[in-house]
């Protein structure tokens, strides 16, 4: 699988590189045009200088007493001379030269107009009917320095522009993606049971084309799950009457039958039908636990629901149940559906009575608003079994009857109300036993 990349990072880097590339291309164009213009300007200055010097040089040469000797133009004081010139006669003899002119850099042939040597830009011109020639030289390094200086001036803002561009694109992309982040957070914060459509307002068109089909998919999934649950609940409900009728018939039959094999068989059938009855009851509870509606609109007193279930179980079992309800736990109210909460407590207490040791009491602690603990004595359940007990139809080593659905129902309710359930064996602070800790704080 290709590794997923952050869109923000990819766009940030891509756009910054693009902007830098365009910047460099624009600067290169600007430098090229400026270079041509600068050359033109330098050339015209060179020609202008030659034409200015020429009449002065001609007058100087004409007025000399001793012609034929090269003469240096008097220098005012030592100074750096970027432009140097030579004045020569037709045969190439130097008549006049600027004070630091180096004859070797000039053309040996007397040329007219502009030309370039390896180091200099030169301009040659004739005067006095082509008898006197002036050639003026300007070092190329001067032009190069001007262009380099200009390029540096144009390029250095890049140092500032690169981070600014990166931060700018990063922030802009983050801003543009904000709706997608809200969308993601909404999906992330959902409970597992929430299959309602996710809000798509303000999403960019590209994501909307994904988000809408996802909502359609959620809708189809919700309908499929609902129909599956209502089928389970309806089937279990429909089974109740025939099972109850069958039980009644079998019990009548047991009374009518004489002692012996047939009666024994009738007892066995009764046992099977009871198991079937319990199973259909559990399936109904599971359908409720996994369906919606685990919250009611009103607040209900959780402690009194626990007490109601406990009292009911005390009537049907010999195991002692001790309640530990500190004063601050009394009258705790919650919006959890009272039926669902009763199903949860009943299943856990049922287990504690059924699977725990019969001669020791079951403890029920509702110590703080957010913690319900049900503890019983008994053999330790191995850790590898403990991890799987929440799965449907999974049971550990036990002689008690059961369907393996009690903890699956409890788990479904706890998940549905956004609480958490911990199974411990041995129970906290004991050498043996089993403990279920439910933390309601999130619900
Ligand atoms: N309070 C408990 N003490 C000891 N073992 C327990 C307790 N509760 C659950 N168990 C173990 O977890 C298994 C699964 O429980 P459950 O899903 O309620 O199914 P059932 O009670 O029908 O066996 C039980 O078979 C039992 O081995
Ligand atoms: Mg059980």
Q: Choose one of 384, 407, 421, 427 to mutate for the ligand 1 pocket test, by most ligand atoms within 8 angstroms of C-beta.
A: 407
Query: How many whole angstroms from 281 Cα to the centroid of ligand 1?
Result: 17
What lines the ligand 1 site, CB under 6 Å? 351-352, 355-356, 376, 378, 381, 389, 395-396, 398, 402-408, 434
pLDDT at 413: 94
**If you take atom 14 of ligand 1, which residue's CA is the nearest one?**
395
Query: In angstroms, rounded to a whole number, what is the distance separating the alpha carbons of residues 435 and 374?
Result: 6
Q: CA-CA distance, 303 to 392, in Å (whole number)?
A: 28
Q: Contact, 206 vs 428, CB < 8 A?
A: no
The CA-atom distances, in angstroms, between 333 and each of 117, 304, 338, 346, 412 are 100, 10, 11, 19, 21
378, 357 Cβ separation under 8 angstroms: yes
The string over 407-435, giving b where at least 16 C-beta atoms fall within 10 Å of a residue's C-beta and e elsewhere, is bbbbbbbbbbbbbebebbbbbeeeebbbb
If you measure from the C-alpha of residue 346 to the centroid of ligand 1, how many angstroms do you get, rounded to a whole number? Answer: 13
pLDDT, one tens digit for every residue, the chain (443 residues)? 567 888 888 888 888 889 889 988 998 999 999 999 999 999 999 999 999 999 988 888 888 755 555 656 554 555 667 889 999 988 888 888 888 888 889 999 999 999 999 899 999 999 888 889 999 999 999 889 988 998 888 888 888 888 888 888 888 888 988 998 899 888 888 766 677 888 888 888 888 999 999 999 989 988 988 887 788 778 877 888 899 999 999 999 999 999 999 999 999 999 999 999 999 889 889 988 887 778 888 899 999 999 999 999 999 999 999 999 888 777 778 889 999 999 999 999 999 999 999 999 999 999 766 799 999 999 999 999 999 999 999 999 888 889 999 999 999 999 988 899 999 999 999 999 999 999 987 55
Residue of 377, 395, 411 with the most ligand 1 atoms within 8 Å of its CB, for mutation = 395
Per-residue model confidence as pLDDT tens digits over 63-113: 875 555 565 655 455 566 788 999 998 888 888 888 888 888 999 999 999
Residue nearest to atom 2 of ligand 1 (CA): 352
CATH number for the region 7-157 comes to 3.30.450
Report domain extents, the chain: 7-157, 293-439
Q: Kindly give the number of the ligand 1 atom that is closest to the alpha carbon of 379.
A: 4
Task: Judge contact between 86 and 100, C-beta under 8 A.
Answer: no
- Distance from residue 279's CA to the centre of ligand 2 (Å): 11
Shortest-distance atom of ligand 1 to CA 403: 22
Residue 360 vs residues 172, 223, 306, 309, 366: alpha-carbon distances, Å: 67, 47, 20, 19, 19
**Long-range CB contacts for residues 138-146, cutoff 8 Å, separation at least 24:** 138/42, 138/46, 138/82, 138/83, 139/82, 140/116, 142/42, 142/82, 143/38, 143/39, 143/42, 146/38
Atom 18 in ligand 1: which residue has the minimum CA distance? 406
Pull the structure tokens for residue 395. 């049971």
CATH number (3.40.50.150, 3.40.50.2300, 3.40.50.1820, 3.30.565.10) of 293-439 reads: 3.30.565.10
| In 257-337, alpha helices (H) | 261-290, 302-316
Residue with tokens 């003026």: 136
Retrieve residue 28's tokens: 């290169």
H or E element, residue 182: helix 178-188
Domain 7-157 shares a fold with domain 293-439: no
- With tokens 């969308």, the residue in question is 183
CB 294 within 8 A of CB 416: yes
pLDDT tens-digit readout, 2-46: 678 888 888 888 888 898 899 889 989 999 999 999 999 999 999
Probe residue for ligand 1, chosen from 285, 352, 389 as the CB with the greatest number of ligand atoms within 8 Å? 389
C-alpha 332 to ligand 2 mean position (Å): 26
- Of all protein residues, the one whose alpha carbon is nearest to atom 26 of ligand 1 is 396
């Amino acid at each position: 699988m290709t590794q997923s990349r952050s869109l923000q990072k990819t766009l940030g880097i891509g756009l910054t590189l693009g902007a830098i590339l365009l910047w460099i291309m624009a600067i290169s164009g600007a430098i090229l045009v400026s270079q041509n213009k600068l050359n033109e300007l330098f050339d015209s200055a060179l020609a202008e200088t030659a034409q200015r010097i020429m009449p002065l040089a001609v007058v100087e040469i004409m007025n000399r007493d001793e012609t034929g000797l090269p003469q240096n133009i008097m220098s005012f004081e030592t100074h750096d001379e970027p432009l140097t010139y030579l004045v020569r006669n037709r045969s190439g003899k130097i008549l006049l030269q600027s004070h630091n002119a180096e004859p070797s850099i000039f053309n040996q042939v007397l040329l007219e107009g502009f030309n370039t040597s390896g180091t200099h830009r030169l301009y040659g011109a004739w005067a006095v009917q082509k008898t006197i020639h002036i050639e003026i030289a300007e070092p190329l390094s001067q032009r190069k320095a001007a262009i380099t200086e200009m390029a540096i001036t144009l390029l250095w803002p890049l140092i500032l522009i690169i981070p600014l561009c990166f931060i700018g694109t990063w922030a802009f992309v983050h801003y543009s993606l904000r709706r997608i982040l809200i969308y993601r957070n909404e999906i992330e914060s959902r409970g597992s049971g929430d299959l309602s459509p996710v809000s798509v307002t303000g999403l960019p068109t590209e994501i909307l084309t994904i988000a809408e089909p996802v909502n359609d998919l959620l809708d189809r999934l919700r309908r499929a799950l609902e129909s599956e649950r209502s089928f389970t609940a309806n089937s279990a409900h429909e089974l109740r009457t025939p099972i109850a009728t069958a039980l009644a018939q079998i019990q009548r039959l047991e009374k009518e039958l004489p002692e012996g094999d047939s009666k024994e068989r009738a007892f066995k059938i009764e046992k099977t039908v009871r198991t079937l009855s319990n199973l259909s009851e559990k399936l109904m509870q599971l359908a409720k636990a996994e369906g919606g509606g685990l919250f009611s609109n009103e607040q209900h007193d959780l402690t009194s629901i626990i007490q109601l279930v406990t009292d009911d179980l005390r009537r049907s079992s010999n195991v002692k149940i001790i309640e530990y309800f500190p004063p601050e736990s009394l009258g705790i109210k919650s919006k959890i559906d009272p039926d669902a909460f009763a199903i949860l407590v009943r299943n856990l207490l049922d287990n504690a009575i059924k699977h725990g040791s019969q001669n020791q009491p079951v403890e029920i602690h509702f110590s703080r608003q957010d913690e319900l603990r049900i503890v019983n004595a008994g053999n330790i359940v191995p850790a590898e079994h403990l991890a799987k007990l929440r799965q449907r139809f999974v049971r550990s080593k036990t002689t008690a009857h059961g369907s393996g659905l009690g903890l699956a129902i409890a788990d479904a309710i706890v998940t549905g109300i956004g609480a958490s359930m911990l199974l411990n064996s041995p129970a906290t602070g004991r050498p043996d036993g089993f403990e279920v800790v439910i933390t309601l704080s999130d619900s």
